[in-house]
Amino acid sequence: MSVQERKQRERADRERLIVATARRLAEQQGWDAVTTRRLAERIEYSQPVLYSHFRSKREIIGAVALEGAAEMAAALRAATSTADGPRTRVTTLARTYLDFAECNPAVYDAMFQLDGGLAFANEDTPEPLKDAFAALLECLGEVAGDGVHPALFTEVFWAALHGPATLTRAGRLPPEDAERRVELLVDRLTML
């Protein structure tokens, strides 16, 4: 391995460490606790080293969002790949999405609530975000209905999932009704 290759590998390792540490700190204490000073202390590198990877907290949030999007896409595909029939697939998709949001609140916030400097729904959208949407579309496109654009239906269904994900976590919706919300959503939006 050349010196240049080793340096590139070490740089990539440091970047992964920064993102993992920011994610862990955000999950434990919230995004307000994620500061460059704290991250530098936890990863045992100086702040200038941290800034050589990410110019700001915003970029770190964006990196966590991209990582989360890839994880969500994989989770959605894995869960729906074994489900039989459209109704079961859509129900499984909804449950998996809501479970992901509940189990990864800081990552979910990085993806959909905080400014990570990422473009959504245009040509500049990073591939992991496009892929997460594609994972939803793959399942929901088949149930959009006649005359309904599959991507538009997917956007509406996604928005309908985002509401309970954020409102339940904020204590605005009782968690014990989560399953009934999923059933209602699947019944009313998909007509399956």
pLDDT of residue 41: 94
Q: And the tokens for 104?
A: 């990864």
108-152: pLDDT as tens digits: 999 999 999 999 989 999 999 999 999 999 999 999 999 999 999
Would the pTM of this model clear 0.85, i.e. be above it?
A: yes
Buried b (16+ CB within 10 A) or exposed e, 53-84: bbeebeebbbbbbbbbbbbbbebbbebbeebe
How confident is the model at residue 192, as a pLDDT? 64
> pLDDT, tens digit, for every residue of 145-171?
999 999 999 999 999 999 999 999 999
